[in-house]
Structure 1
């Protein structure tokens, strides 16, 4: 298998956004290689990307190459420390060479943001894909995969868990579930959540919203505090180009038509509001407000960069 270049995430402190009394930190793991875009969203050709000028320079380069990243969001709200998705993880054998046997300082980034693994109360998994569950576990001194967050409840939608338990799995998917999901289930920390159409509250100020299509049980996370709100996308929007062209689907969407409907519905609800959109794979500045582009049913992101913590 050919090797793809790996770019470590930038250092310098986790950017953060205030949402009322809550705070959201972006915990960086990996900048994805340029080859990722054509594989992930094959119809987002350089010519099409170039026709969306607001994507450059943050979300695409002048040649129409998409910028993508892997990160988690760590949320302080109501006295709880909540982690949304857990990236790829270290030391795990993966079919994608950009993810294979990583060695990144992700846990250092997380701890520096005030989220030592032992302090995390809740882990929300938007869906059970390799790049969203990897740091669920880490190797113990005895060489076994054990939960990284020993005191946390790990939440996943029941529809998502049911889908993968009944699906025909290839070897790479079985390996991922075996090293990153099964140990959490075996420890008794995995909790399945029924997510109705209107969503469900899982903690004060935290609500899971169903966003099916990419996977059957995927969720987005709605955070609300003191009159302010934010939505963490999961993979219902992989890249801001899908705001301008909501029909662009991922090569790994289970149901592309449903994924497109979900994306359009979410964007329509957020357009023109002060709800902050936080993209689970958006390159920096990562967050922004959704704004309509004319009457064509297309949208754009008005970026809202996170604040960097001051250093002494």
Structure 2
């Protein structure tokens, strides 16, 4: 495709379209992954720069993106970004941001009414924002014909029954009220836990730690495999050092255990890893080298 913010490839019989809203040097590298010291980044500069780390500023490069999967005759979105005009006083990068995911989706040939399923890998503001849009001052589902698949553990934690995350983060109530509650009111939300099969190629699987309900979407078709892992990984340094969780993880220890399990499967089964925020092509292979894991950029 001519639009550099839209790329496509296939996994067996599943077409994957990557729709990028932005890709930038984000935060200082060791703020994003606090447990990884400077030597991890510098020793692996050739693996990390320039797609995942900007050495000059020592900032991690991240992307904000949505994945479109065309599978078994249906259109599935994985995560929906920050949204447009949201009140996020606790996060200046997302506060009242003006985005255009619908326009970018249109350039990929996807209209809101074409979407059959929306997968929110977890309920953080940069994964659920375009679930809804403003219609005459009211937040309504952007995708009128879609079922929204919400991890039940996250819906409980971040919703009213969990005190909107217990008030730990300033924006959690706002995120739930403008991006999740309207989907429930519209009758379009499906809560799931453990494992949930979408079709013969796509299966959701719990991957807790980053949030209580963090999940991943596994794709298996004609012998090819991939896992859309959400925020289980923010940087390839976490493939090199799986014990290092991001600063955004609510349970870093559980996140590390989940990450190791997923990386072991990826390395053993040749399953591509597709994190929510990786730069470059957005897709990684995982291999074993000298008793550790190694990230290998996938070029399709």
Contact 1:52–1:244 (Cα < 8 Å) also in 2: no
* 2:101 corresponding residue in structure 1: 106
Q: How far apart are 1:121 and its partner, in Å?
A: 0.1
Aligned partner (choices 144, 163, 172) of residue 157 of structure 2:
163
- Which structure 2 residues correspond to residues 1-312 of structure 1 after superposition, within 5 A? 11-35=3-27, 37-53=29-45, 54-63=47-56, 64-94=58-88, 95-140=90-135, 142-165=136-159, 166=162, 167-169=165-167, 170-195=169-194, 199-295=195-291, 298-305=292-299
Counterpart of 2:118 in 1: which secondary structure?
Answer: strand
- TM-score, normalised to structure 2, is 0.91
1:167-192 CA distances to partner (integer Å, 9 max, x unpaired)?
A: 31254111111111111111000110
* 1:310 corresponding residue in structure 2: none
Q: How far apart are 1:12 and its partner, in Å?
A: 2.7
Q: How far apart are 1:76 and its partner, in Å?
A: 0.5
| Equivalent-residue separation in structure 2 for 1:221 and 1:18 (angstroms) | 15
Q: How far apart are 1:204 and its partner, in Å?
A: 2.5
| Equivalent-residue separation in structure 1 for 2:264 and 2:22 (angstroms) | 30
| Equivalent-residue separation in structure 2 for 1:43 and 1:109 (angstroms) | 35
* 1:5 corresponding residue in structure 2: none
Q: Which runs of at least 4 in structure 1 moved beyond 4 Å after TM superposition? A: none
| Equivalent-residue separation in structure 2 for 1:25 and 1:74 (angstroms) | 5
1:283-310 CA distances to partner (integer Å, 9 max, x unpaired)?
A: 1221121111211xx222221235xxxx
Q: 1:58 to 1:180 in 2, by over 3 A?
A: same
Q: 1:13 to 1:253 in 2, by over 3 A?
A: closer
1:70-91 CA distances to partner (integer Å, 9 max, x unpaired)?
A: 1111101110100001010111
1:253-305 CA distances to partner (integer Å, 9 max, x unpaired)?
A: 1111111011111101111533221121101221121111211xx22222123
**Structure 1 residues without counterparts, runs of 5 or longer:** 1-9, 307-312
Higher fraction of strand? 2
| Equivalent-residue separation in structure 2 for 1:262 and 1:39 (angstroms) | 21
CA RMSD after TM alignment: 1.8
Counterpart of 1:264 in 2: which secondary structure?
Answer: helix
- TM-score, normalised to structure 1, is 0.88
Q: How far apart are 1:203 and its partner, in Å?
A: 2.3
Contact 1:13–1:112 (Cα < 8 Å) also in 2: no
| Equivalent-residue separation in structure 2 for 1:270 and 1:304 (angstroms) | 13
| Equivalent-residue separation in structure 1 for 2:149 and 2:243 (angstroms) | 30
